[in-house]
Amino acid sequence: MEKRESLALQVTKEIVVKFVETGRISPGNFTEHFGPIYEEVLRVLSRGQDGQARPDGVRVIAKGGRDDG
C-alpha cells in the first residue's frame, strides 16, 4: 500500500470514529459511508495547493511550504 493510501486510510478511520461517537454514523450504515469518505480524503491528499494533482508527490503543507516526504 502506498504511503498516501495508508495515510488516507488512517485519516478516514479517525473521521469515521468521530462520526460514530457523535451518532452520525452507526454500525448499520458504516459501509455506506466509509468508502466515500476514504475516496474524498485520498482525493484531497492527492491535490496540490492550487487544487491540481501533483505527479511529483510533493504535498503542500503550508502556504509557501512543502513536504517532500
Per-residue confidence (pLDDT) for residue 43, from 0 to 100: 92
Residue 30 CA to residue 35 CA, distance in Å, equals: 9
pTM, two decimals, is 0.65
Residue 65 CA to residue 59 CA, distance in Å, equals: 9
Among 10, 41, 45, 15, smallest CA distance to 30 is for 15
**Above 60 in pLDDT, residue 62?**
no
Terminal alpha carbon distance of the chain = 16
Per-residue confidence (pLDDT) for residue 63, from 0 to 100: 47
Which residues make beta-bridge pairs with 47?
A: 53
Cβ of 41: how many Cβ atoms within 10 Å? 21
